[in-house]
Amino acid sequence: MRSVGVEEELLLVDPVTGEPQALSTAVLAAASRGADRDGGSVFESELHREQLEFATRPQTCMRELGTELRRWRAEAARHAGRMGAAVAALATSPLPVSPSISSDERYLWLRREFGLTAQEQLTCGCHVHVSVDSDEEGVGVLDRIRPWLSVLLALSANSPFWQGADSEYSSYRSRVWGRWPSAGPVEIFGSARRYHEQVEAMLGTGALRDKGMVYFDARLSHTYPTVEVRVADVCLDPATTVLLATLTRGLVETAARQWQSGEPPASHGVGLLRLASWRAGRSGLEGRLIHPATLAPEPAGTVVRALFDHVRDALDGDDLPLAREGLDQVLKDGTGARVQRDLLNRTGSLRAVVAACLEDAPE
């Protein structure tokens, strides 16, 4: 069973006004003082001081992963509360904000080099790491999961609002993130050697500071022996995060089996993959998506079910009913984007939207 780890980015907000708060340094200090005695603090800073990141431990049981996600969200809320703030699993701020870049030298370099692109990147994503046996297997996986990544984006869509207005997208975070020059879908690499050559060539241009800036939709982690899938918004409901992790592990295992058997990857060009990603960010689950197999527009429910069918044989044990139940639930209740829009329709207030989405701290 392949292990899975998840990184989530959370928004720090004022619990009364809902406005983002540049308090990550203080919250991290509070978290450090109360660090987990078994492994230290799991929390880290991010590009902007209005956000906080945590990473789970590698897990093989998806239900245990869900328990850990809820634990660290609650702990983040507790630490933020000590500083007079709250946390929300929102991929963009519904309210207007002028973000503050963190003081880390790497982040300051990004601000100097990329200007407004970096300044505006107050976005919160969800990254799923799945273990692989080697770089060769990992690249074999990357080549074969490319067409399906847009479906994961659609399932996670949780960023309908931008600077106080409805963006008319389900995941506007994906559009903002796509401004980075290294972000988005990539070509078929064919081998680990070709992958690493491409990364080195990108670094050689001087446009990227380091390997951490290789912002492919999915990449080989430069830190862990994993494939890292980076397309998703942070999800409003941690159960959706568990669903994403389950499906992502299924995708990786399915692709690894195809690679091992010599089955070639689909030859979809990067331009078509970009269109599929745009459609997923625009529609979420509220309209049509581009089917990864046929490249034709199909109802979102049909495409999501196609993803489930694609990975079904790789969903071992408890993963199969967990994925089926999770998909049924998100298709019924909608994504975080729908929840946020429904809240706005009921309350007429973006502040009320944020208030309804705050994470609870432990008693």
Amino acid 39: pLDDT: 46
**How far is 204 from 202, CA to CA, in rounded Å?**
5
Maximum Cα–Cα distance across the chain: 56
Q: What is the mean pLDDT of residues 128-148?
A: 98
**How far is 234 from 87, CA to CA, in rounded Å?**
12
Question: How remote is the C-alpha of 361 from its chain's centroid?
Answer: 23
Token pair for residue 173? 């975070």
Collapse the DSSP code of 231 into the 3-class scheme (helix H, G, I; strand E, B; otherwise coil) and give the result: strand
Collapse the DSSP code of 289 into the 3-class scheme (helix H, G, I; strand E, B; otherwise coil) and give the result: strand
Buried residues in 22-39 as b, exposed as e (16+ CB within 10 A): bbbebbbebbeeeeeeee
Q: Does pLDDT of 125 surpass 70?
A: yes
CATH number of 4-356: 3.30.590.20
Q: How confident is the model at residue 185 (pLDDT cuts 50, 70, 90)?
A: very high
Q: Does pLDDT of 225 surpass 60?
A: yes
Q: Does pLDDT of 156 surpass 90?
A: yes
Q: Does pLDDT of 363 surpass 90?
A: no
| pLDDT tens track for 34-54 | 664 444 579 999 999 999 999
Is the CB of residue 18 less than 8 Å from the CB of residue 355? yes
Q: Does pLDDT of 194 surpass 50?
A: yes
**How far is 204 from 123, CA to CA, in rounded Å?**
27
Amino acid 33: pLDDT: 80
Q: What is the mean pLDDT of residues 276-282?
A: 98
**How far is 356 from 340, CA to CA, in rounded Å?**
9
Q: Residue 210: count other Cβ atoms within 10 Å of its Cβ.
A: 10
Report DSSP state, residue 312: G
**How far is 179 from 110, CA to CA, in rounded Å?**
13
Which tops the pLDDT comparison, 305 or 41?
305
| pLDDT tens track for 340-352 | 999 999 999 999 9
Amino acid 149: pLDDT: 98
Amino acid 120: pLDDT: 94
Cβ-proximal residues to 323 (8 Å cutoff; 6+ apart), any chain: 243, 246, 247, 250, 308, 311, 315
Give CA angle at 199 (194, 202), nearest 5°.
125
